[in-house]
Structure 1
């Protein structure tokens, strides 16, 4: 097991470096000069001398291979560079915004697991009955609703119509814990609606499949209580694929929560990425993508470890 973990960790490091290199090279294929974009104001074309001077200051006048070597050298020291837009260290900005996005994803995941797994279990046990049909219909509707539509509808109904919660914004937990959690509630639920539907469908499918296995019938024929059969023989064997789907969804949400952050004015990492792309802020884009890719790889590594614990056959 230890050798497996070491091998996966080394693979994760190589993947992270490969992603960083691909992003670095791909950014130079994007149309637009960062120096010209930064100096443009109100649609007025900046002077050519000013653009050339800024390119020298930003190091964009050097050959791309030299810039790549400098980027790798800085990366080995843990330096993601400085933003072209404001000159602030990219790492510091990411460390301010990343916890907000992770908090949003974590809360949405908890809600999705609490709702999706029990509902999927009930639907699988009552397969073909009215309960199963109703839950499956609700899950299909939840998966078909675009997240920006859900978010906008929630803002209109709960914030503007009934004034139950604020429409959006952000307050640090240390400043006002109650308001922080209140502002976190709606965006987390907006993400969790579609997420929980995915968890539900996977849970229902895997539990329904496990229910037909021979070991379940054997356990029941031995007189084992239904609660023990459900816990140790059905749920545990059905959780593996569910954990995999949850891990993939969490990874996708790291860079895909931009619409929720925009609708609810949540200052997370995804919104920062969009702004950096618009301004051709190469160091910020590279830093964000590298951090997101590293987290995605780490989440998949953790999922593999959990899968190994749930299913001892994977260890061999």
Structure 2
């Protein structure tokens, strides 16, 4: 088990390094000069001397490899640089916004698991029946509809037409707990729709497969109750692939949260990243991508370790 953990951890560290390096180098292929954008006012082109002076001040005149190794050295010391536009420390802004994105993802994950796993179990136990067909159709629709369409439709019906919840925004939990949860509810639900459908389909498939195993028939023949069989044996064997898909889908949820945060005006890392890309703010983009990639990679590391606990065969 220790060897398995070490190998997975080293692979995660290497992958984080590769992703960070790729994003750093890819930024320089994006058209647009941050220095020129900072000095531009309307359609007026800034003087070339002023642009060059600002490039020197921001360190953009140095060779790209030197900038890259400087970034790596600073990042290892916990310094992600300062924003080109407002000169605030990038790490401070990320630490302010990261809990909001994590809160949104956690709420969406809890909703998805609470809906997807029971629905998948119910469908697997009633294969081919009306409930199974209805839930499968519902899951197909949920996966097919784009997340921004779901968010916009929820705002239209629940906020504008029915006036049940606010359309969007953010207040701190310490200021107004009830309003904070109301503002969190719709983006979390919108983010969980496709996730719930994916968990449902994986749970249904794996449970249905396990139920066809010979050892399940043997257990039933020995007189084990159906509830005990499902709880101790079938569900445990079926949750390994479900745990894996949860880790992968949470990476997709990070991408989906960018759109959801924008639609519902939720001030998390997603909206911060969009603004940084629009402004060609390299330190903000690099810092945000580094944090998000690290979260995703090590989340999948934890899922791999959980999978090894659920299914000891994976360790070998």
TM-score, normalized by length of structure 1? 0.97
Name the CA distance, whole Å, in 2 between partners of 1:308 and 1:60.
46
Question: Is the CA contact 2:101–2:268 (under 8 Å) kept in the aligned structure 1?
Answer: yes
Name the CA distance, whole Å, in 1 between partners of 2:252 and 2:147.
14
The equivalent residue for 1:102 is: 102
Name the CA distance, whole Å, in 2 between partners of 1:18 and 1:169.
36
The equivalent residue for 1:44 is: 44
Question: Is the CA contact 1:112–1:192 (under 8 Å) kept in the aligned structure 2?
Answer: yes
Alpha-carbon shift at residue 296 of structure 1 (Å): 0.8
Choose 236-245 or 44-53, whichever is displaced more. Answer: 44-53
Question: Is the CA contact 1:108–1:189 (under 8 Å) kept in the aligned structure 2?
Answer: yes
The equivalent residue for 1:280 is: 280
Question: Is the CA contact 1:142–1:197 (under 8 Å) kept in the aligned structure 2?
Answer: yes
The equivalent residue for 1:23 is: 23
Name the CA distance, whole Å, in 2 between partners of 1:114 and 1:256.
20
Q: Deviations over 1:152-208 (max 9, x none)?
A: 111111111111111100011111111111100000000111110111111111111
Give ranges in structure 2 of 5+ residues lacking alignment: none
The equivalent residue for 1:88 is: 88
Choose 9-18 or 292-301, whichever is displaced more. Answer: 9-18
Written as runs of structure 1 = structure 2, the 5 A alignment for 1:2-21 is 2-21=2-21
The equivalent residue for 2:307 is: 307
Give ranges in structure 1 of 5+ residues lacking alignment: none
Question: Is the CA contact 2:247–2:300 (under 8 Å) kept in the aligned structure 1?
Answer: yes
The equivalent residue for 1:203 is: 203
Name the CA distance, whole Å, in 2 between partners of 1:170 and 1:286.
26
Name the CA distance, whole Å, in 1 between partners of 2:220 and 2:132.
23
- 1:188 matched to 2:201? The reply is no
Greater than 6 Å deviation, 4+ residue runs: none
C-alpha distance 256-193 of structure 1, shift in aligned 2 (>3 A): closer
Secondary structure of residue in 1 paired with 2:232? helix
Name the CA distance, whole Å, in 2 between partners of 1:58 and 1:151.
39
Written as runs of structure 1 = structure 2, the 5 A alignment for 1:1-316 is 1-316=1-316
Root-mean-square deviation (CA), in Å? 1.1
TM-score, normalized by length of structure 2? 0.97
Q: Deviations over 1:108-154 (max 9, x none)?
A: 11101111111111111100011111111111111111111111111
Alpha-carbon shift at residue 254 of structure 1 (Å): 1.7
